[in-house]
Structure 1
Amino acid sequence: MPAAEVVTDHSWGLVGTAVLELQLDGERFIAKAGDTKDRHISREIRAHREWLAPWTTRGRAPRLVHADEEAKLLVTRFLPGVLVQGTEQEWDPDIYRQAGELLAAFHAQVAVPDETHEARENRRSLAYLDKKHTIAPEVTARLRSEIESWPTAAAVLVPTHGDWQPRNWLIDEGTVGIIDFGRTDLRPAITDFARLAVQQFATNPALEPAFFDGYGSDPRGPAAWHRIQLREAINTTVWAHQVGDKPFEAQGHRMLAAALRE
């Protein structure tokens, strides 16, 4: 695409991933390129190749144009719309009903039993606590003790978005579309509810029932949901500290406090 014109640079600047909106021959595209540390482009490529059909066939997610996993490069067609986050639609129950319905179709594609998932996630959370972070030492000790006591029964994994929240939803003439698949992977379905639970659901009580009305049911069991919340809180707090995202780090601390209270 040597003749493409850069319309907008959508890169976050927190990590070494470039995201450019391009125009070529009257069409718009999104190009993403990762640096040597990037682990998200390969996930996004896999998502496009294996799991996005429930959305792309309905025009609810961008279609793949080109991908090179070795070069960490991805090009998709531009998906029109405005980010839901920061608009009045962020608090519209109908948006969450649509998001729930879209997510249910995504989760329903395949279910994979995994005997090692819980033990692997426990090790991952403990490894995060070994990194530099701002979690208080007494809280860190409590977290380690609790994680080491958790059971490691088999889990059922499904395709998950990994960052399911309004900053990755677009609204176009009342219809919700989905972007950003850099965290897409096989996980327990309820992991996709974690960020909404501590953000929009906690702010507006009408959004959670609307979301699960679209999803079809609320599959969260208390013990499994607690483990998900605590893991997500640890990962958020430590990762945000590593990249210098202070607001996200503060959110991680709030998530930790809430999970530990429960």
Structure 2
Amino acid sequence: MSATPRLSPAQEDVVRRWFPGVAVIADLSWGLTDTVVLHVRYAEGESIIKAAGSGNHHIGREIAAHEQWTTPWREVGRCARLLYVDRDQNMLATSYLPGTLVKDHPAADDADTYRQAGELLATFHAQQCTVSQDHESRMDAHSIAWLDSDHRIDAVTETRLRDAIARHPHEPVELVPTHGDWQPRNWLTHEAQVTVLDLGRADWRPALTDLARLARQEWQGRPDLEAAFLSGYGSDPREPAAWQRTLLREAIGTAVWAYRVGDETFEAQGHQMIAQALEIG
């Protein structure tokens, strides 16, 4: 493998140890964070390698999700297998999944894609359940921390957001394994089947949180896609008050994170999400 500028020398050594004679097919990194995603070929086949700096928590979350929660998907060929892990270098390697990203593909407008996505998410959520006494307070504290950091939310809107958060109840809530970024950019389509990518945000959360990004993107003006998803999922987990809190937190995080990484398009989406969340609040 020739030198890859975004991998450290120690990480390059790990890749060579895992896959002697490896060749990089494509760099699939987004470039917004320090996460490196490489599609590689080696003697026995192809793999996806992910690596990041020591302060990046997404790799650790993805490793934990593969180790604890992906069995229902792996058993039906709907997600990759974890091949190698190096926690010291913050790296992992998985098997390669064939297919095309659903985002910007005709499958993104196909109701059956969303039915399958609903079914896959339901199996993921159904594996375990726990009750948290402090989840709601922790999530509100996280939103306040976003607002305390640098952002471009105007002062009047920021005050409304803080006031809304201050009114949130902090009751016990059921948590399940969640993907954390459930949307077409993290799904592949191959031979009319949907498969799953990127578990870097997987964590214990209320089930409804995995519907938030779809609701503010793909389902806007497309009730048929929403209905297909809920048909596959088997129910609608969105209790109205909890849903409003979720959309508010998601909107704040989107606007502030996007500003932090310099993604102006995503930041604008975050500001639109804030306006929508305040309107329904």
**Which of 102, 105, 114 matches 1:84?**
102
2:63 aligned residue:
45
Q: Tell whether 2:48 aligns with 1:30.
A: yes
Q: How far apart in 1 are the matches of 2:82 and 2:271?
A: 37
After TM superposition, where is structure 1 displaced by more than 2 Å over at least 4 residues in a row?
A: none
1:237 aligned residue:
255
Q: Tell whether 2:238 aligns with 1:213.
A: no
Q: Tell whether 2:165 aligns with 1:142.
A: no
Q: How far apart in 1 are the matches of 2:46 and 2:84?
A: 14
User: Which SS does the other structure have where 2:170 is aligned?
Assistant: coil
Q: Tell whether 2:271 aligns with 1:249.
A: no
**Which of 122, 135, 158 matches 2:140?**
122
Aligned residues: 262
Q: How far apart in 2 are the matches of 1:162 and 1:40?
A: 11
CA RMSD of aligned residues (A): 0.8
The letter for the 1-side match of 2:56 is: D
TM-score (norm 2): 0.92
The letter for the 1-side match of 2:164 is: E
Q: How far apart in 2 are the matches of 1:22 and 1:107?
A: 31
**Given that residues 16 and 37 in structure 1 are in contact (C-alpha distance below 8 angstroms), is that contact kept between their aligned partners in structure 2?**
no
Q: How far apart in 2 are the matches of 1:261 and 1:142?
A: 11
**Which of 94, 109, 117 matches 1:99?**
117
The letter for the 2-side match of 1:189 is: A
What do the CA deviations read for 1:22-77 (whole angstroms, capped 9, x no partner)?
Answer: 00115010000011331100000000000000101111000000012221000000
1:111 aligned residue:
129
User: Which SS does the other structure have where 1:129 is aligned?
Assistant: helix
TM-score (norm 1): 0.99
What do the CA deviations read for 1:71-95 (whole angstroms, capped 9, x no partner)?
Answer: 1000000011100000111010000
**Given that residues 8 and 21 in structure 1 are in contact (C-alpha distance below 8 angstroms), is that contact kept between their aligned partners in structure 2?**
yes
Q: How far apart in 1 are the matches of 2:210 and 2:36?
A: 25
Q: Tell whether 2:208 aligns with 1:190.
A: yes
Structure 2 spans left out of the alignment, 5+ residues = 1-18
**Which of 170, 180, 196 matches 2:198?**
180
The letter for the 1-side match of 2:122 is: A
Structure 1 spans left out of the alignment, 5+ residues = none
